């Protein structure tokens, strides 16, 4: 047992601006994705998972946990995130599992279809889909949000989820699981994240609707809504630098969550243990 308030680093943190999408390897303190702290027990033996944004942050934590629970894992990421992705691939392979790296931009519909086909081909099927990749850029006012920024956020957070899910469903059989990553901002939207907030609320609704469409196929669809987690999303334009320095201090734990702290929820929703859960929205917010 540990005091959860002191289990991981607490702010203040140094200001650490990065170009979007950012790298976990350049963050201080470096996030804990479970590299040393997550221990598996074979709960996903033989399963085959595709995770977008699997190079860092919450997607990386899910990829590590899935591999240590016995799954083969394909991760998608942008080419500039290759240094982080290489670390994840090595961690998956260290567990004796198949690791597939598929870099590319999910704002492109044709690539989304190619992503799924490549994952299915290289993994030999697809049982778990995690739509995790997201774009978040803060702005004081709607007047500061250009059409280009708005479009990039919508395509990354919503269009890609739609395209990838649509491409994946024909390959998924009874017992498969789709997990979409939303955010606590869907219910408590901060004023500086207008378009990001919109997409996260839409993801919750998409999940609830899709779960009704595919229930008769034996496929479950759920959402995970994190609170303030310490990931590259924050210093790479997701928050002002003065907020990064105190990030997470408003939670009841007085600190941000580390990605490994939500990995178990991804495992639960992918496993047969949650066979009666679909259309649900699971949160881990530190009481924020």
What are the DSSP E strand ranges found in the chain?
48-52, 72-77, 99-103, 128-131, 177-181, 220-226, 281-284
Quick one: tokens of 11?
């702010």
Radius of gyration of the chain (CA): 18
- Going by DSSP bridges, is the β-strand pair 220-226/177-181 parallel, antiparallel, or unpaired? parallel
Residue 219, Cα to own-chain centre: how many angstroms? 20
C-alpha of 122 from chain center: 21
Q: What residues does 103 pair with on adjacent strands?
A: 77
38 labelled catalytic: no
Per DSSP, what are the bridge partners of residue 100? 74
CA atoms within a 13 Å half-sphere pointing along the CA-CB vector of 24: 27
First to last CA, the chain: 22
Annotated catalytic residue, options 38, 66, 77, 196: 196
Query: Could you give the 3-state DSSP secondary structure of residue 220?
Result: strand
* Local structure of residue 229 (DSSP, 8 states): B
**Residues annotated catalytic, as ranges:** 196
């Amino acid at each position: 047992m540990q005091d959860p308030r002191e289990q991981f680093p607490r702010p203040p943190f140094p200001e650490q601006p990065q170009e979007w999408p950012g790298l976990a390897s350049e963050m201080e303190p470096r996030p804990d994705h479970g590299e040393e702290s997550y221990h598996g027990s074979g709960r996903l033996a033989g399963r085959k998972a595709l995770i977008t944004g699997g190079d860092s942050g919450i997607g990386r934590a899910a990829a590590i946990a899935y591999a240590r629970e016995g799954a083969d894992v394909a991760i998608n990421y942008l080419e500039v995130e290759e240094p982080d992705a290489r670390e994840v691939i090595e961690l998956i392979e260290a567990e004796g599992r198949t690791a597939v790296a598929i870099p590319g931009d999910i704002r492109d519909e044709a690539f989304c279809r190619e992503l799924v086909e490549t994952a299915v081909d290289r993994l030999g099927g697809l049982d778990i889909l995690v739509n995790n990749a997201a774009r978040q850029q803060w702005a004081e006012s709607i007047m500061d949000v250009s059409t280009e920024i708005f479009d990039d956020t919508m395509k990354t957070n919503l269009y890609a989820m739609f395209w990838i899910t649509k491409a994946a469903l024909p390959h998924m059989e009874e017992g498969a699981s789709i997990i979409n990553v939303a955010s606590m901002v869907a219910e408590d939207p901060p004023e500086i994240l207008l378009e990001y907030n919109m997409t996260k609320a839409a993801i919750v609704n998409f999940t609830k609707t899709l779960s009704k469409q595919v229930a008769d196929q034996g496929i479950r669809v759920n959402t995970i809504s994190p609170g303030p987690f310490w990931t590259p999303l924050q210093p790479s334009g997701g928050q002002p630098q003065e907020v990064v320095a105190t990030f997470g201090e408003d939670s009841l734990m007085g600190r941000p969550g580390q990605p490994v702290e939500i990995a178990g929820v991804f495992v639960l929703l992918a496993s047969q243990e949650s066979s009666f859960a679909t259309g649900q929205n699971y949160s881990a917010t530190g009481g924020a």
